[in-house]
């Protein structure tokens, strides 16, 4: 029975992934597949039609309790393609799951249709929190910000939340380590 349920869950997850990929307005990929997309001829067609981008780490990122003070968790990676994300001008939802950043590009504020955003910041992003707030506050359509798993300090999380909730942004920030 356990094997049957496991196989059923895998089949359902696979079906959800296939359905998402069939929609022109959704990109749901592992990081390695996003890298392939960036080099493909399909990219040009996706730039204007994509509304949702969900990219996740190729590996299962581990958040052990003793990882406090570590730049990024075990098997996590830095996301090197923010400039490429800027090419998707009509994106409304961007989720970078367990893909870490140290800062945001100034040009990130050009994504004016962005409504939902999930980012992970590394420990060194604490040095750039004012710049991050400045860039995010320029996103006038932003409604939801998810910073789960970021390595920001409690003080910096509170500062981001305080500044962005002034403009009506809801912040999901339930899991963090100081």
> Tens place of pLDDT for every residue, the chain, 178 residues?
555 544 444 444 444 444 444 467 999 999 999 999 999 888 888 998 999 999 998 887 776 665 667 788 888 899 999 999 999 999 999 999 989 999 999 999 999 999 999 999 998 988 999 999 999 999 999 999 999 888 888 889 899 999 999 989 999 876 544 4
So what's the pLDDT on residue 101? 94
Q: How far apart are CA 109 and CA 134, in angstroms?
A: 9
So what's the pLDDT on residue 153? 86
Residue 86 lies in a domain: yes
Task: Give residue 159's domain range.
Answer: 59-178
Residue 175 lies in a domain: yes
Considering its fold, how many domains does the chain have in total? Answer: 1
Residue 53 lies in a domain: no
So what's the pLDDT on residue 126? 87
Question: CA 135: distance to chain centroid?
Answer: 15
Contact by Cβ (8 Å): 139, 167: no
So what's the pLDDT on residue 13? 46
Q: Which residue has the tokens 């409690």?
A: 154
So what's the pLDDT on residue 66? 58
So what's the pLDDT on residue 71? 85
Residue 38 lies in a domain: no
- Give me the residues paired with residue 172 across strands: 146
């Amino acid at each position: 029975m356990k094997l049957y349920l496991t196989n059923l869950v895998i089949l359902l997850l696979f079906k959800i992934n296939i359905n998402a990929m069939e929609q022109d307005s959704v990109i749901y990929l592992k990081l390695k597949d996003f890298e392939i997309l960036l080099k493909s001829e399909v990219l040009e067609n996706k730039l204007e039609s994509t509304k949702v981008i969900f990219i996740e780490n190729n590996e299962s990122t581990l958040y052990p309790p003793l990882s406090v003070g570590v730049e990024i968790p075990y098997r996590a990676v830095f996301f090197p393609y923010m400039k490429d994300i800027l090419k998707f001008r009509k994106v409304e939802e961007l989720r970078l799951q367990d893909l870490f950043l140290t800062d945001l590009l100034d040009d990130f504020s050009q994504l004016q249709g962005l409504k939902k955003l999930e980012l992970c910041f590394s420990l060194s992003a604490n040095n750039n929190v004012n710049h991050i707030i400045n860039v995010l506050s320029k996103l006038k359509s932003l409604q939801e910000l998810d910073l789960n798993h970021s390595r920001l300090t409690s003080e910096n999380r509170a500062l981001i939340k305080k500044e962005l909730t002034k403009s009506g942004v809801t912040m999901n920030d339930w899991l963090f380590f100081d």
